[in-house]
Chains A and B, each alone.
Chain A
């Protein structure tokens, strides 16, 4: 999908928050993506690496936490974690199932720590 735009959105949200906290450089961003969300983790990492050089995110690491799909059955109340359960409950075969989690895309937290994020420059120069 449009991963570059999603990364730009992430940078805006984190930068707005960092400005309010008087934070300069960002060293880690933690994203949560549901297993059904169409955003591709690889494409997000590629877009992040492509547009963050020379910004306050240049040394930041993008952590992606992939959340499983969970489905609940309205008939037997069983919880399942396979995407196929959206069509049939694997326990009672009912089709009255509902998606509980799996379509999320959110920034859980970010970390700003000058000491932790500065020393990783190549060649040991700072």
Chain B
């Protein structure tokens, strides 16, 4: 006897993600999912984003890491509500983890929720958390071939933030080639050239975030 299922393996997660999105929508919160390799500068980008935000932007953060609360401690030092998720070995966040974390944040005090995924350019790409906007973070020290080598995450992003631009002259990163490949994979993707250390590009990035809230 053959039983036809035609069921995506992500179907169960997608259902929880939809419920997360409805929950966020009803609280008028816009959520962003930040994906990138370990060490690409996701937490530094978030810290700089918190630092340069306009006073009327109320932000909250969910931090995803295998172990430790170090990132949450960095974010909390900015006086921002933050919840740390420890996945204890799991290589990406999923919608159920985010659903539990949402109960630890007073959404009435937040307009923009920044979710930092576990450092990984592969597995998080296939997992909807219930976010509204997906941002891939790529540093110039990782090499300009990464969009071509890891196409799925770039295909499924609304924006790509290139980080550590202050180090560009010390690397062989081909900026034109990287931006070309990102746009070839995803013509509608916004690309930001930033440095959390010098503040380069942060104004345009912050304006784009403000635009999402309008």
List 10 other contacts, CB 8 Å, given A106-B9, A107-B7, A110-B5.
A2-B92, A9-B12, A13-B9, A13-B12, A38-B125, A38-B126, A87-B148, A96-B187, A109-B6, A111-B1
Q: Which residues of B contact A88 (CB under 8 A)?
A: 184
- Say whether B212 faces chain A, with CB atoms less than 8 Å apart: no
Question: Given known contacts A2-B90, A38-B152, A103-B152, is B5 in contact with A17 (CB within 8 Å)?
Answer: yes
- Say whether A6 faces chain B, with CB atoms less than 8 Å apart: yes
A107 to B10, CA, bound (A): 11
Name the contact of B4 in the complex, choosing from A9, A86, A109, A112 (C-beta under 8 A): A109
Interface of A (DSSP majority class)? mixed
- Say whether A120 faces chain B, with CB atoms less than 8 Å apart: no
- Say whether B2 faces chain A, with CB atoms less than 8 Å apart: yes
- Say whether A113 faces chain B, with CB atoms less than 8 Å apart: yes
A108 to B6, CA, bound (A): 4
CB distance from A57 to the nearest CB of B (A): 14
Q: Is the CB of B9 within 8 A of A9?
A: yes
Total residues of chain A contacting the partner, CB 8 A: 34
Total residues of chain B contacting the partner, CB 8 A: 29
Residues of A near any B CB (own CB < 8 A): 1-2, 5-6, 9-10, 13-14, 17-18, 21, 23, 36-38, 83, 86-88, 95-97, 99, 103-113
Specify which of B91, B122, B184 lies most central, judged by the most chain A CB atoms within 10 Å of its CB: B184
Q: Which residues of B contact A110 (CB under 8 A)?
A: 2-3, 5
- Say whether B101 faces chain A, with CB atoms less than 8 Å apart: no
Q: Which residues of B contact A21 (CB under 8 A)?
A: 3
A23 to B3, CA, bound (A): 10
- Say whether B185 faces chain A, with CB atoms less than 8 Å apart: yes
Name the contact of B8 in the complex, choosing from A17, A106, A113 (C-beta under 8 A): A106
